Every structure is written in C-alpha cells, then in structure tokens.
Amino acid sequence: MICKDQEEMDMIALLQQCLQYLHKTSSFTTILLSLLLLLSLQYLLKLTRGPKLNFPPSPPKLPLIGNLHQLDKPLHRTFQALSNKYGSLVLLHIGSTPTLVVSSADIAAQIMKSNDVIFGQRTQTKAANTLFYGCSDIGFSPYGGYWRQAKKICVMELLSTKRVQEFHYVREQEIAEMVEKIRSSCLDGAVVDLSEIFVTISNNIVSMSSLGQKYDREDGKENFGVIAKRAIGLLGAFCFEDSFPYLGFMDVLTGFCGTLRKTYKELNTLLDQVIEEHQKKSENDQSEKKDLVDILLHLQRDGKLDINLTRDNIKAILMDMFVGGTDGTATAIEWAMAEIVKNPIVMKKAQEEVRRVVGKKLKVDESNVKEMSYLQCIIKESLRLHAPVLEPRTTSVGTKLEGYDIPPRTTVVINAWAIQRDSKLWEKPEEFLPERFTNNPVDFTGKHNQFIPFGMGRRSCPGVLFAMAEAENVLANLLYWFDWRLPSGLTMEDLDMADVCGLVIQKKLPLLLVPVLHSI
C-alpha cells in the first residue's frame, strides 16, 4: 500500500496492532473497546485522504459521535450560542451526518432562493419516509417534477385564497364551540387549559376541512387527532438510524420502531377508510362544501394532471395538512395569547380594537378581522419572537457557500428563531413590541430576509393563508368575548415563557388562564 505521508502510515500501523490485539483477546469489553477504536481510526484515516477542503468553522468533536454531546436542549438556543461563538455558519457532525447551522438572514436567503436547487431537498428521516409513504407528500418529497406538480395542486387547488375563504363555515362552527366551552367555565371561575383548547380546535378545523368530519372513534380507541399528534411527535424525535446507521438496532430497543409501525398502521387504516367513504359518494355530488379529499379524488379522476396521483400520494398529502395545520398553528396561537396576557397594555389595546370593530354584533365576522390592524401586528410580532420551526434541508451535491466547502448530503438547519432575534436586524429584539410592525412593510410572506417564520422561496410553507385565517379569528374571538386573568396567586412574572424544540418550537408549560365573560 502506498501512503501519502508518515501520519497515514502511523495510523495504518496502529490499526494493524489493534487487529492483532483483537485476535488475542476473548473479553467482550475489550473487543467492544477495540472495535470502537478501529472505527475511530478509520474515521481519522478518511480525513487524511483527498484534497484539503475549506470547511466552515466547527467546534471540537469526538470520534464517532461528533458534536452530539454538545447539543443541549432546546436546540434552537444551543445553535444560537454556537453561532455567537463560531460565526453565522457552523459545521457540526452528528454521527455520520454533517450538519450546517445557518444564523444569517442574507445567507439564509442565498440558500432558500438563489441556490434553492442545490439546497432544495428536505431531509428525509426514517419517520418521514414511513409516515409520508416514501416522502411522496409535498413537504418531504425530493425537488423535481413530482414535487412541482404536487406543490401546484396544493397552492392552486387546496390552499388558495378562494379555497381558504370557502372553509370559513368550518372555522365559524369550531370557534363557536370553543367560545361556548370557555363560557361555561366562566360560571365557576375555573382555570382553562388554552394550550389543549388550541390543539383541539386546530385539529378539528383541519379534520373538517380535509376529511369532511372529525372521525372520533366510538370503539374506545384513539381518534384521528390523537394518532396524528403522536405522528408529529415521532417526526421530531431522535432516531439512531438517521445519524448512526450502524446503530439502527437501537431504535428497536428504545421502542421507536414499534411506535412508528403502530402509528403508521393506524393512520393508514383511517385514511383508507376516509378515502373509501368519499369514493362511495356520487361523482355527480353538486354540494358546494367540498373537503380536500373530494378535491384530490376529483383531480385523480379528471386525468388532466401531469403526474399519476395514487392513493398513497393522496394519503401523504393529507398527512401534510395535519402536520402543518395542527401543532404549528396551535403553537402560533398559544405564543400570541401568552404574550398578550403577559403584556397587559397590549391586551387592553387589542381588546379595545376588537370590540370597537365588532361593535354589538352577536358574533365576530371574518370580514371584521381584516380591519383589526393592531391584532395583525401582535401576530407578526409573536411569530418574530417565537419562530415556529427550524428550517432543515439537505444539499444534493457538494457546493460552495460564502467561500466555504459544503459537502454533499449535508443537513442544513436555518435557525429562523435566531435570525429573528438578531440585534443587527431588529431593535430591542428580545422584547415583545407589536408596534414595530405598525406601518411597516416587513411581512412573513418570504419577501424579507429578516422575517422568515414560514420560510421563503419554493420550499416555503404553502399553508400560510390557512394558518393565519385560523389564528386571527381564534384570537379575535378570545379577546372579544372574554377578559383574561392568571390563576389566583400568580403574577405576570410567574407566567413561564420557556420553550422546547421538537418538530415545532412549543411553549414548555401549558397556558392556564381564567376567563371572565365580557359584558357586551
């Protein structure tokens, strides 16, 4: 064997010594340690081969696990701390996966818009491949012809402005039920769990809009919403196989594989049931209230699509609706309501606006909500301070970024949470100041690099209109019908605003408040 330098020769000699020692011993512990050493040396040997590349700054790493030991929770805060120390681009190694953390608005725009073909692939995890039928949905499918057609279906047919408006009756019905439930709690001054209420109403709105009904189970088993929430948890959970392929057996031992199979089987059964029920309906059904399954089946029968829309494709797209439309939307509403309550001056100003616009009407019309400019500012500021998700992508090929070499198949995490708290971009970035958006053209539609709660470019979230319609109307009703107090004995300083990071960045503790019915 011809070696490039003495360092490589020394490594090979050490490998040979380890192999000789491994043959002589019978101790299980010694064998295991020797095997780990061999893998470590092989990894180091690999680094010495090939041309020297200019990688982004990286914190010191350990063999095999890389920087995994440095990733404390919550991840978005850890990533921010690493970026403060090493710069806007930080290259981490999580097992066998290189991971690039991006905390610069300008670089994020390069990735999501200028170079979106190279950086346009979504990271396909074991859970995503299983739950989204081989990633044949919109969120995780590879960038290419199928994705373009599926995205077009979503934007033009499922989540267009017209379609979102058509689902107003669903929002009105579910919000009315929510208000009635909270009103009944006012009679005895009970504490209500708004976090749970927001998840329930988000799930119900998505269920009614997508499937046509809520699909509660009468056999005592979990309903669709509960199973979908478990699926969302799996998407944000740690999977050994994703980062350490040779440790995939650990996912069996931890129960991850079993839970994933069980969840997929239950979801698949329920979605098949939904599709079969819709197929039994007359194709000449002229009802104006079409849900998303009706629309997808019509497109499938129509035969005018450039892709063959299979049943699995339909189920994968429906799963997208639940993943994007439940936890993400519920969390956005929860953070906004928590900030409103924590800032009494903001709550007073918002309530005065909502009650002035609605007047003495018996309900809050959706048309009224568009006149509530301060409420819009509150939602924007909450999305700025509490970005819903980290933005993960995967490079399709090796490339250059800001002069650095980025390896192929690198996971790229855009830390929107850190970008939207950057003191170079925002004045008093850690404070909740809705007024900063008054007469401010900066919006979350992907046109402004410093404000990207829903991403930007071709891979931006297509469900923004759907989510905002729900958030605006839920908050408007809560502020119109009720005054809000903290539970007895608590002050504003006691309202815990700590967060946790899974698939979305959620409030760590549930939002528990006391509603007081407002006299109209």
DSSP state of 245: G
Please indicate, yes or no, if residue 137 is contained in any of the structural domains.
no
* Cα–Cα dist 146/22, whole Å: 51
27 and 165, same domain (yes or no): no
Domain boundary among 50, 68, 86: 50
Q: Which of 495, 480, 406, 457 is closest to 113 using CA atoms? A: 457
21 and 155, same domain (yes or no): no
* Cα–Cα dist 159/321, whole Å: 10
Please indicate, yes or no, if residue 420 is contained in any of the structural domains.
yes
7 and 155, same domain (yes or no): no
pLDDT of amino acid 6: 47
46 and 149, same domain (yes or no): no
Where residue 199 sits, what CATH number does that domain have? 1.10.630.10
466 and 332, same domain (yes or no): yes
Please indicate, yes or no, if residue 171 is contained in any of the structural domains.
yes
215 and 356, same domain (yes or no): yes
Q: Which of 391, 404, 390, 409 is closest to 97 using CA atoms? A: 409
Q: Is 103 within 8 Å of 78 (Cβ atoms)?
A: no
CA angle, 313 then 318 then 324, to 5°: 125
Indicate the SS3 state at residue 24.
helix
* Cα–Cα dist 201/326, whole Å: 8
168 and 30, same domain (yes or no): no
Please indicate, yes or no, if residue 510 is contained in any of the structural domains.
yes
Please indicate, yes or no, if residue 123 is contained in any of the structural domains.
no
Please indicate, yes or no, if residue 57 is contained in any of the structural domains.
no
Q: How far apart are the first and last CA of the chain?
A: 87
Q: What is the dihedral of CA 334, 340, 342, 344, to 10 degrees?
A: -160
| Chain Cα centroid distance, residue 86 | 26
Tens digit of pLDDT at every position of the chain (520 positions): 334 444 445 555 555 555 454 455 545 455 555 555 555 555 555 555 556 889 999 999 998 899 998 888 889 999 999 999 999 999 999 888 899 999 999 999 999 988 888 998 888 999 999 999 999 999 899 888 898 888 888 888 888 999 999 999 999 999 999 999 999 999 888 999 999 999 999 999 999 999 888 876 555 566 777 888 899 889 989 999 998 998 999 999 999 999 999 999 999 999 999 999 999 876 666 666 789 999 999 888 887 777 888 999 999 999 998 888 888 899 999 999 999 999 999 999 999 999 999 998 888 999 999 999 999 999 999 999 999 888 789 998 999 999 999 999 999 999 999 999 999 999 999 999 999 999 999 998 888 999 999 999 888 888 899 999 999 999 999 999 999 999 988 888 889 999 998 889 999 999 999 999 987 6
376 and 498, same domain (yes or no): yes
* Cα–Cα dist 520/359, whole Å: 8
Number of domains in the chain: 2
Find the largest Cα–Cα distance for the chain.
88
Reported as half-sphere exposure (CB side, CA atoms, 13 A), residue 495 has a value of 18
Token representation of residue 50: 């090939």
pLDDT of amino acid 227: 86
pLDDT of amino acid 51: 67
Model pTM? 0.87
Q: Is 413 within 8 Å of 392 (Cβ atoms)?
A: yes
Whole domain around residue 289: which residue ranges? 145-517
Please indicate, yes or no, if residue 208 is contained in any of the structural domains.
yes
pLDDT of amino acid 29: 53
Burial class (CB in 10 A: 0-12, 13-18, 19+), 301: exposed
Confirm or deny that 154 is annotated as ligand binding: no
Beta bridge partners of 483: 516
Please indicate, yes or no, if residue 309 is contained in any of the structural domains.
yes
375 and 243, same domain (yes or no): yes
34 and 179, same domain (yes or no): no
Token representation of residue 119: 């950086």
Beta bridge partners of 308: none
* Cα–Cα dist 230/265, whole Å: 13
Q: Which of 346, 349, 495, 335 is closest to 420 using CA atoms? A: 335
Helices (H), 217-343: 224-235, 240-243, 250-253, 256-280, 292-302, 311-325, 327-342
* Cα–Cα dist 406/98, whole Å: 9
Domain boundary among 50, 66, 87: 50
* Cα–Cα dist 110/25, whole Å: 54
Q: Is the peptide bond before 74 cis (omega within 30 degrees of 0)?
A: yes
351 and 211, same domain (yes or no): yes
